[in-house]
Amino acid sequence: MSTLQAIAYKTVKKGPMKPVFCANVSLLRGVENDVFGRPSKRQVTVMSIEQWKTACQEINVDLDWLTRRANLLIDGHEFSAADVGKTISIGEHVSLVITGETDPCAKMEIAQPGLEQALSPHWRGGVTCKVVTEGLIQTEDPVVIA
């Protein structure tokens, strides 16, 4: 079984990521306080710790996951194209539908040379999601992808 390892949001574009222990996830705001939480196919971003570590190992660095600027970090699953349309259930209430791949951007290259390219293959950059069911999430919540 997978677990929710970390939660973060940013209050302004290009602003710093703010890690939190728990957060409300809503249909209208995504992860509470996140600047990009409005309803869209990219309402919440989710990344796999295993894929993040693989990308970092490829370029020989040990970077904090917040460098990726994703909202949620999970363990125990590696994302792929086969996951589009699946539901990520977190804790007792929250469910997200996977809408696509989170494409790495130039911000990754600015953060660390080579990172954008290291995140590009095999969906290492994570996935975009839309909120289906809202509620409170916290680190260590169980995560089921089906």
CATH for 70: 2.40.33.20
The predicted structure's pLDDT at residue 26: 96
Structure tokens at 47: 């990344």
**Which are the contacts of 19, defined by CB distance < 8 A and separation ≥ 6?**
6, 7, 8, 66
The C-alpha atoms of residue 27 and residue 34 are separated, in whole angstroms, by: 13
- For residue 82, give the DSSP letter: G
Domain with 41, as residue range(s), is 2-145
The C-alpha atoms of residue 127 and residue 80 are separated, in whole angstroms, by: 9
Number of separate domains in the chain: 1
* Segment 61-106, tens digit of pLDDT: 999 999 999 999 999 999 999 999 999 999 999 999 999 999 998 8
Residue 135 backbone dihedrals phi, psi, to 5 degrees: 165, -170
**Residue 37 pLDDT grade (very low, low, confident, very high; cuts 50, 70, 90):** confident
Range list of H helices, the chain: 49-58, 106-111, 115-119
What residues does 22 pair with on adjacent strands?
A: 138
Residue 115 backbone dihedrals phi, psi, to 5 degrees: -70, -40
